[in-house]
Amino acid sequence: MGKTAGILRATFAKENIMFIAHGEKVRKHSRWILAGILILLIPGFIALFTTTGSRDRTEEQLPTLRGKPVNAAEYMSARRDVRDLYYINTGRELPSTPQFQNEWRREAVLRLLQLRKARELGIRAPESLLMQWLQNHPVFRNERGQFDPDRYRRFLIMLNNRGITESRFIELMRQELILGQLRDWVGAGAKVTPQEVSLSYGPMHERVTIDLVQFNMSDNKDPIAVSETDAKAYYDAHKENFRKPALVKVRYAFFAINDLKKTVKVSETEVDNYFEENRHRFPQVMDLTTNIVGGATNVTASVNSNALALAKASIREMLAAIEARRKAGELAQQLAVKVVPDANAPRPDLAKIATEMGATVKETDFFSQNDPLPGISGRSFYEAAFLLARRPEPPFSDAIETPDGCYVLEYLDGKPSRIPGFDEVKQQVIERIQEERRYEATVQQGQTALAKVRELVAAGKSFSNACAELKLKIDTYGPFTASDQEFAAPAAARIQQAVLGMPVNAISEFITTATGGEFFHLRDRQPPDAAAFEADRSRITEQMFLRNRRALYESWLQTLLREEQVDFGKIAVAPPPPAPEPEEEPTEPSPAPPSPAR
C-alpha cells in the first residue's frame, strides 16, 4: 500500500506541475476537461451507491458461522496469526498456491473458534509459564543447555526483518500455549485399555519368515539397440531431463573452529563450574558401593578419579569449541562489515583483508548445488553462493556459519542453467533409453515368472520346487517383524506392509523396485515374543494414549464445526501444476522454534 501510495503521490505531483505551467490551456478547454473528469468519476459513484457494493462483496467472501459472516476483524487477525506462525515455524513466506490459500482460510477459522472456546473455558497462559517455556526451548539454549540471550536476540532480529515484533511473537506464543492447554483439557478423556494395546502390538510384532525371489536389471545382459531416430525423439520429449545445472564460482575466507581452538584458553574454574552445574550429566564419575549391615542397606558414593579426569577433559574440549565457534562467528561478521562496498571507493580486496585477519582464503572452480567441494561442509555455503549468483551486487555474502567454522564469500562468476543440444548429450540419451528398456524387460520377466510360479503351486508343487523348476533363486529372510527397523531386504517397507494379515504359504503380488522387482512366499508366522511385549508395554501404551488424545481432539473439533455450522466460503480451484523450474532456488536457513502447543 505504501509503495502504491508513493506512486500515486508522485503522479499527482507531476499533474499539479503540469496544470500550473499550462494554466491558460486549462482555462481555454475547461468544459471538455470537466466532461472528461465526469466520465471517469460516474462509474465510481455507481459502484459506491449500488446495493452490491464492496461491503457486501467482502461479506460474501468471508466464512460464515451459523449462516452469518464471521467477524471480519477477528477473522483477519486469525489469518495474520496463521501467516506469522507459518513463518516462525518454517522461516518461509506462506505459499500463494490455491491449496495453501484454502488451507490458510480453514486454519484461520479453526484458530478463531478454538481461541473463542478457550476464552469461554477461562483458559489462560500465565506470564511465568510463558517465560519458562521460552527459556527452556532448545532453539534458545546454548551448547551448555542454558538459555542464551544472544540466540534469542538473533531470532527476534530475523522475525523483526519480517515485520514480527517481539511483543507480537510473545503474544503468538501465549496463544499457542492457551491452545495447548485446550487440547489437554479435551484430551483428558482419552483412555487406553489393555486389550487395545495387545491388539495394536500383535500384528506389527508377529515374527515372519519369507522366501524372496528378486529380479535385477543388472542381470539382464541382452544387448539393446537404439536408433538415432528413437534417441532424437526421446531427447525432444525429455529435454528438461538433460538440463545442465547453474554453476557458480566464488572466493571464500574461512575461519576454522579447529584453528581457533588452539588459541582458546579454558581455565580450571570454568571447567569446575560447568561440571558442578551439570553434574547429573556425568554419572560415570561416581562409584556406588552397597553394603548390607544388620539387615540395613548402606550405599557409599566415591569419586572415580580417572572418570573425573576424562569428564573434565571432555568439558574442556567442549568449552574450547564453544568459544572457538563464537570467535569464528565474530571474526566473520567483522570481515563481512569490512568488505561492504563503498560507491566512492575501489572494490574491497577480500583476500587481503581476510588474510590479515588470520582467515584461510581459497577460490573454487565452477560448481553446482550438488557438487561436493573439498573441505566444505554444510548446505549454507552452497545456498549463500547461489544467492550471490542471483544477486551479484554487492558481491560479498554475510557471515555464513557451518559445522566446521564460518565463511564470507565473494562472487566471482556464474553460468546459467541450460539445455544442451542433442549432439552434446546423444550418448547419454542412448544410455538412458537402454536403461529404461532393460528395466521394463526385467519387470516383465518378473511378472511372467510370478504367474508361472502360481500356476505350479496351484497344481500341487511347493513354492521352492516351483522356483527350482523355473531356475529362480530364493533368498530366505527372517524371522522379522513388520515394525523391525533393521530389516534390510530390498523394498523392505513394502514387504513389511504386505505381510500384515497375509496367510502362511501365500504368495505376494509383484513388488517393483528401483532395479527391477520381487515377489515372496510367506513361509512362517509366529506370535510376538511375550517378554518383549511386556518390556515394551509402557511405551506402546503411551504412544496409543497420545494417538487417542489426538483423535479425541480432532473429533471434538469436528463436532464444534458442525455446531457452529461453519462454511469456509468459496474455495479456489487449483490450476494445473506449473512446469518444473530449471533450478530450485535455495532459501535462507533460519532457526525456527516449533509451536509450543502440545
The last residue of a domain, from among 482, 504, 526: 526
Q: Are residues 539 and 517 in the same domain?
A: no
pLDDT for residue 589: 36
Q: Are residues 344 and 253 in the same domain?
A: yes
Distance CA 239, CA 243 (A): 7
The tally of domains found in the chain comes to 4
Q: Are residues 375 and 465 in the same domain?
A: no
Top-ranked range on mean pLDDT: pick from 22-31, 44-53, 353-362: 353-362
Specify the CATH number for the domain of residue 476: 3.10.50
* Domain that residue 559 falls in: 63-193+528-598
Distance CA 399, CA 335 (A): 8
Q: Are residues 179 and 259 in the same domain?
A: no
Angle between helices 166-187 and 530-563 (to 10 degrees): 110
Per DSSP, the three-state class of 572 is coil
Q: What percent of the chain has pLDDT over 70?
A: 83
In the structure, what pLDDT confidence band is assigned to residue 584 with cuts at 50, 70 and 90? Answer: very low
Q: Are residues 15 and 38 in the same domain?
A: yes
Q: What angle do CA 474, 476, 481 make, to 5 degrees?
A: 140
The last residue of a domain, from among 380, 415, 450: 415
pLDDT tens for 137-182 read 888 887 777 788 888 888 888 888 888 998 899 999 999 999 999 9
Distance of CA 448 to the CA centre of its chain: 42
Q: Are residues 93 and 170 in the same domain?
A: yes
pLDDT tens for 117-126 read 999 999 988 8
pLDDT tens for 246-295 read 999 999 999 999 999 999 999 999 988 888 888 777 777 777 666 666 66
Residue 133 belongs to a domain: yes
pLDDT for residue 102: 87
pLDDT for residue 288: 63
Per DSSP, the three-state class of 211 is strand
Residue 570 belongs to a domain: yes
Residue 56 belongs to a domain: no
Q: Are residues 6 and 135 in the same domain?
A: no
Laid out side by side, the sheet with 475-480 consists of 475-480, 207-216, 516-526, 511-513
Per DSSP, the three-state class of 345 is coil
Q: Are residues 491 and 540 in the same domain?
A: no
Specify the CATH number for the domain of residue 106: 1.10.4030.10
Between 68 and 569, residue with greater pLDDT = 68
Per DSSP, the three-state class of 252 is strand
Q: Are residues 477 and 567 in the same domain?
A: no
Q: Are residues 430 and 398 in the same domain?
A: no
Give the bridge partners for 363, in sequence order: 251
The last residue of a domain, from among 359, 390, 415: 415
List the end-to-end C-alpha distance of the chain, in Å, as a whole number: 38
Q: Are residues 506 and 544 in the same domain?
A: no
Q: Are residues 431 and 377 in the same domain?
A: no
